[in-house]
């Protein structure tokens, strides 16, 4: 029998992933990525021979270890594992999977639990982003039960407040990587922004969408998706990211006026699949764009007043609330702090048995 690997399957926010200690995986990157493909059952549209869920939102991995950085407790490497492609992408971050890192670090004794909450400082290796997670630990044990409800997840769970300490320019080095609030790319206005996740923000109407489409309708619009992908790739070059033909970042957010009382409505592409909700860092980037005068999102956004804003970002599965603290002036605001609340839950803890390396599956580099 193939040797098993210790693994915890967790829901983090509105995503699901396999959580590993770095010490339980190969140090060599190629060997590690090949192993993750076999664990998740990729490449296969059903991922039937692994623990992946046959969708990008459920084909994710967290690799966690104690941090040597003085301002962090643990390091977190996020991996987006391709479903039908032999691809392991560690370029992006994932705030949903991040939500599970705090509980996982406590469960694996990387961080000592306090009572009633434990603060876990997490450095995301992919981007260098630092975040503080506040985990419910009554009596010094992780509690997943609570009243917090988030869209895209049934039921309720314990709240996990996440404060992003330095998300701006996480991948590209600056909040506005092109140096502009808006760029004209292939005849359409685009805001290229990175506040935790590189996102190309486009108005849905520029591609023939009303903003009220379902994900199925978005994905069926192949001509529009092709145009969007052309814009995304050119935007990526301008953002200093190079050729992103085989990468999931930058993400694309199609924005339109809110229809359910939120700040703005979004359809988010990864890159051609329509996200059933919206990623944490993508939501933070979209919310940030909403307050930047002249951006592709600003004139569509319904913004509250004040220097502290709670913006509800509408998406196909409901809404996602982002909290922004603003500085600067009314004409030129700056986002000084971004935060939100997620939930997470341990689903399974045990051993995972990867598909054997010589079983004929397509591996890294094959």
Residue 366 has pLDDT above 60, yes or no: no
- Structure tokens given for 297: 């999102």
Prior bond of 265 cis (ω within 30°): no
Q: What is the pLDDT of residue 329?
A: 81
Q: Using one digit for the tens of pLDDT, what is the confidence trace for 200-225?
A: 999 999 999 999 999 999 999 999 99
Q: What is the pLDDT of residue 354?
A: 97
Mean pLDDT, the chain, rounded, equals 94
CA 231 distance to own-chain centroid: 21
Task: Give the whole-angstrom CA distance, residue 191 versus residue 78.
Answer: 25
pTM for the whole thing?
0.73
Q: Tell me the mean pLDDT in the region 186-192.
A: 98
Confidence category of residue 165, pLDDT binned at 50, 70, 90? confident
Confidence category of residue 361, pLDDT binned at 50, 70, 90? low
Cα dist. 256→68, 201, 209, 304, 323 in Å?
43, 10, 9, 17, 20
Confidence category of residue 152, pLDDT binned at 50, 70, 90? confident
CA angle 189, 317, 348 (to 5 degrees): 120
- The lowest-confidence range among 104-113, 185-194, 267-276, 290-299 is 267-276
Q: Using one digit for the tens of pLDDT, what is the confidence trace for 31-80?
A: 999 999 999 999 999 999 999 999 999 999 999 999 999 999 999 999 99
Q: Under a CB-based contact definition with an 8 Å cutoff, are residues 188 and 206 in contact?
A: yes
Residue 82 has pLDDT above 80, yes or no: yes
Q: What is the pLDDT of residue 30?
A: 97
Q: Using one digit for the tens of pLDDT, what is the confidence trace for 300-335?
A: 999 998 998 989 999 999 999 998 989 888 778 888
Residue ranges of the domains in the chain? 5-159+344-352, 183-339
Question: In this prediction, what percent of the chain has a pLDDT beyond 90?
Answer: 81
CATH architecture entry for 5-159+344-352: Roll (3.10)
Confidence category of residue 338, pLDDT binned at 50, 70, 90? confident
More confident residue, 290 or 337: 290
Q: Tell me the mean pLDDT in the region 335-345.
A: 90
Q: What is the pLDDT of residue 280?
A: 87
Q: What is the pLDDT of residue 131?
A: 94
CATH topology of domain 183-339: Diaminopimelate Epimerase; Chain A, domain 1 (3.10.310)
Task: Give the whole-angstrom CA distance, residue 187 versus residue 198.
Answer: 21
Q: What is the pLDDT of residue 328?
A: 84
Q: Tell me the mean pLDDT in the region 237-247.
A: 96
Q: What is the pLDDT of residue 359?
A: 65
**DSSP annotation string for 137-178:** -GGGS-----SB--TTSSS-B--EEEEESS-BTTTTSSSSTT
More confident residue, 336 or 106: 106
Q: What is the pLDDT of residue 151?
A: 87
Exposed e or buried b per residue across 272-310, where buried means at least 16 C-beta atoms within 10 angstroms of its C-beta: ebbbbbbbbbbbbbbbbbbbbeebbbbebbeeeeeeebe
Q: Tell me the mean pLDDT in the region 135-159.
A: 96
Q: What is the pLDDT of residue 147?
A: 97
Q: Under a CB-based contact definition with an 8 Å cutoff, are residues 226 and 311 in contact?
A: no
Do the domains 5-159+344-352 and 183-339 sit in the same CATH topology, yes or no?
yes
Confidence category of residue 1, pLDDT binned at 50, 70, 90? low
More confident residue, 169 or 290: 290
Q: Using one digit for the tens of pLDDT, what is the confidence trace for 118-127?
A: 999 999 999 8
Cβ neighbours of residue 215 under 8 Å, at least 6 residues apart?
267, 274, 275, 276, 316
Q: Using one digit for the tens of pLDDT, what is the confidence trace for 98-117?
A: 999 999 999 999 999 999 99
More confident residue, 105 or 270: 105
**Number of other residues whose CB lies within 10 A of the CB of residue 48:** 9
Phi, psi angle pair for 189, to nearest 5°: -80, 135
């Amino acid at each position: 029998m193939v040797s098993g690997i210790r693994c915890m399957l967790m829901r983090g926010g509105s995503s699901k992933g396999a959580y590993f200690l770095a010490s339980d995986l190969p140090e060599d990157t190629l060997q590690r990525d090949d192993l993750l493909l076999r664990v998740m059952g990729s490449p296969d549209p059903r991922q039937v021979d692994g623990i992946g869920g046959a969708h990008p939102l459920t084909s994710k991995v967290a690799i966690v270890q104690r941090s040597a950085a003085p301002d962090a407790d643990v390091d977190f490497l996020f991996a987006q594992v391709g479903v039908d492609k032999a691809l392991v992408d560690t370029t992006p971050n994932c705030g949903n999977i991040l939500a599970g890192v705090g509980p996982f670090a406590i469960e694996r004794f990387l961080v000592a639990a306090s009572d009633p909450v434990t603060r876990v400082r997490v450095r995301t290796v992919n981007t260098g982003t630092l975040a503080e997670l506040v985990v419910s630990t009554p009596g010094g044990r992780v509690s997943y039960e609570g009243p917090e409800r988030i869209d895209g997840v049934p039921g309720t769970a314990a709240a996990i407040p996440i404060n992003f300490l330095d998300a701006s320019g996480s991948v590209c080095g600056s909040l506005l990587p092109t140096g502009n609030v808006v760029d004209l790319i292939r005849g359409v206005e685009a805001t290229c922004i990175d506040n935790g996740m590189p996102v190309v923000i486009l108005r849905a109407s520029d591609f023939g969408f009303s903003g009220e489409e379902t994900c199925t309708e978005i994905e069926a619009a192949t001509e529009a998706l092709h145009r969007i992908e052309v814009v995304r790739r050119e935007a990526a070059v301008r953002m200093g990211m190079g050729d992103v033909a085989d990468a999931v970042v930058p993400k694309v957010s199609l924005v339109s006026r809110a229809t359910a009382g939120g700040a703005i409505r979004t359809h988010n592409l990864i890159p051609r699949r329509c996200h059933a909700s919206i990623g944490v860092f993508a939501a933070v980037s979209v919310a940030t764009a909403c307050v930047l005068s002249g951006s592709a999102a600003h004139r569509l956004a319904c913004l509250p007043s004040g220097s502290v804003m709670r913006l509800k970002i509408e998406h196909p599965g409901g809404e996602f609330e982002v909290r922004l603290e603003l500085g600067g002036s009314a004409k030129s605001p700056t986002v000084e702090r971004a935060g939100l609340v997620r939930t997470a839950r341990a689903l399974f803890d045990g051993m995972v048995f990867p598909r054997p390396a010589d079983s004929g599956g397509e591996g890294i580099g094959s």
